[in-house]
Amino acid sequence: MIDLDRQDALRGAIELLYFAYRGFTDLPDRILERRGLGRVHHRILYFIGSRPDVSVRGLLDLLAVSKQALNAPLRQLMEMGLVAALPAASDRRVKNLRLTPEGQRLEAELTGAQMRHLEAAFDKAGAPQEEGWRAVMAVLAAPA
Amino acid sequence: MIDLDRQDALRGAIELLYFAYRGFTDLPDRILERRGLGRVHHRILYFIGSRPDVSVRGLLDLLAVSKQALNAPLRQLMEMGLVAALPAASDRRVKNLRLTPEGQRLEAELTGAQMRHLEAAFDKAGAPQEEGWRAVMAVLAAPA
DNA sequence: TTAATGTGTCAATATGATTGACCTAGACCG
DNA sequence: CGGTCTAGGTCAATCATATTGACACATTAA
C-alpha cells in the first residue's frame, strides 16, 4: 500500500495532468471552432504535418479510431483543399497523405499555438525541469 | 521565430502529451465501460472524492461543462448509490456531495489505477525528474 | 486463382455535449 | 413585506463524435 502523503501527491499529479491537458487543447479548439472543425480535424492535420505521406491506415493506428470515424473528417479536409492524397508508388492501393500549402498554414497556426504554450511553460520552469518532464512523459506515453 | 530543431523538440513534446494522456485515461475507461459508465462519471467521482462536500456549482466549475451535461450522469451516480447529497447547513439551496462507501470503493479502484500508473512512471524516471515534471505541469495547468 | 489488404461508404445506434427555456426553493436586500 | 438573485433540476431540440456491421472495389501477394 502506498502511504497517505504519497497518495495526496499522486492525486495532485492526476489533477495536473487533467488541467494541463485541458489548457493545452482549448486554444486550438477555439481556433477550429471558427471554421466549423473539431479536434479530430486538428489531430489529422497534425499527424499528416509531422509524418508526410502517411497512409490512411497509418493515421488510423496513430489516432486509434475506426475508419468510419476518420473517413468523414478526412474527406472534409480534402474537400476543403487542406489535405491532398496521392497513390503510393510502391502500392497503388495506399494513399500518401500530405498537407496542401493552405493546409500547412492552418496546421502551423494550430500547432504553433500549442508550441508557444509549451515553450512558455518550459521557459518558465527551466531546462532541467523540461528534461524531467520529458523523461516522465516518455514513460507514461509508452504502451502499457 | 523558434528555430527548426526546437520546433521538432516541441512537436515531440506535443506527441508526448497526447499519447501520455491517452495512456492515462484508457485503463479507467475500460473499468467504467464494464459498468456502463463513461469518463464523465469518473471525473465526477474523482472530484467529489478529493473535495468532499463540493456543491453542484463547484463541480460544474471544475469540469467546465453545462449543468445539463452534468445532471444526467450525476443523477445516475446518486441512483446507483455511489454519491449522496446533503443540503448545506449554511445555505439549504446548496447540495453537499459526498461519496457513499460504495462510491469510495469504485473511486478508489479507478483513481488507484491511475495512481499506480503514475507511480510506476515516477519510479522509473526518478525523483528529480518527477520534480521537473511537476514544475512544468504546474505552469501548463495554470489558467491562460 | 484465391486470399488478404487498403480504402470507401451506407446504415443503425450510442453517447455526450450544446443552447434555450422554464421551473422551484431558498437567500438576500430594500 | 416584495422583488431579485442564486442553486439546482428538467424538458426539448440539436449537434458532434464515436461505435459495429456489412458490403464494395482495386490491388497486391501467395
User: Do A10 and B118 form a contact (C-beta atoms < 8 A)?
Assistant: yes
Number of domains in chain B: 1
- Distance from C-alpha of B141 to C-alpha of B23, rounded to nearest angstrom: 19
- The predicted-structure confidence for A21-41, as pLDDT tens digits, reads as follows 999 998 899 999 888 899 999
Give the minimum alpha-carbon distance from B68 to chain A in angstroms, rounded to a whole number: 20
- B30 CB inside 7 Å of strand D: no
Q: What is the dihedral of CA B4, B9, B11, B15, to 10 degrees?
A: 170
- Distance from C-alpha of B144 to C-alpha of B139, rounded to nearest angstrom: 9
B130 vs A18, A19, A132: nearest CB: A132
Residue A18 burial by Cβ neighbours in a 10 Å radius (0-12, 13-18, 19+) = buried
Provide the ipTM. 0.92
Q: Which residues of B touch A14 (CB under 8 A)?
A: 46, 111, 114-115, 118
A20 vs B15, B118, B141: nearest CB: B141
| Cβ-defined contact of A135 to B129 (cutoff 8 Å) | yes
Q: Is the pTM above the cut of 0.90? A: yes
DSSP of B96-115: EEEE-HHHHHHHHHHHHHHH
Range of the domain at B43: 4-141
C-beta within 7 A of nucleic chain D, residues 38-57 of B: 55-57
Closest C1' nucleotide to A74's CA: C8
> In tens digits, what is the pLDDT along chain A, a chain of 144 residues?
779 999 999 999 999 999 999 999 988 999 998 888 999 999 999 999 999 999 999 999 999 999 999 999 999 999 999 999 999 999 999 999 999 999 999 999 999 999 999 999 999 999 999 999 999 999 999 876
Where residue B111 sits, what CATH number does that domain have?
1.10.10.10
B14 vs A13, A19, A111: nearest CB: A111
| Cβ-defined contact of B128 to A126 (cutoff 8 Å) | no
